[in-house]
Amino acid sequence: MQPIVLASTSPFRKQLLEKLGLPFATAAPEIDEGRHADEPPEALVQRLAEEKARAAAPAHPQALIIGSDQVACIDAEILGKPGAKARALEQLRMASGRVVTFYTGLCLYNAASGEGQVLCERFRVHFRDLEDAQIERYLDHEQPYNCAGSFKSEGYGITLFRRLEGDDPNALIGLPLIRLVELLHHEQVQLP
């Protein structure tokens, strides 16, 4: 089997990939993650996922390289990672009673053949109506300032939701494993 490399330093993606029981290495892709003018979220995450995978290829020329990128959107506005409590409070106020759509780009790049498979997985989170006191308690408890949309669905963030809508809950965390297994199968990696 070809070596597998996760082109990400995200501890969340690493933890998700470990679920598949495959040996893998990680690499820190050095790319410009800026958005092009008028670039739709789906195109943005697919482009960045592929750029991350390809950026790791020179150091891993025989590997299957996994790249992934994610954005959270309300309507057409990309939320991004809040970085601090004030911005997280603002994002969760905006999400209250609304739907946040997560777009997760996934690329499996075969560095040996130069072929890549790229896709976008969409996942929708329906938020409950939230009061400021609820949002404050949540932020104080979890401090999700490095997470797109200001919450961790795998943690206490689940208390904020009315409903989840999507094919793979792992996509919400940043790595759609169901689709990744399909891409790996195409590369002759057998799971289970």
Query: What amino acid positions are annotated as catalytic residues?
Result: 69
**Closest to 80 (Cα-Cα) out of 116, 34, 134:** 34
**What are the structure tokens assigned to 52, written together?**
């991350």
**Closest to 122 (Cα-Cα) out of 75, 84, 160, 70:** 70
Q: What is the rounded CA–CA span in Å between residue 169 and residue 62? A: 30
**What are the structure tokens assigned to 98, written together?**
């609304």
Q: What is the rounded CA–CA span in Å between residue 117 and residue 120? A: 11
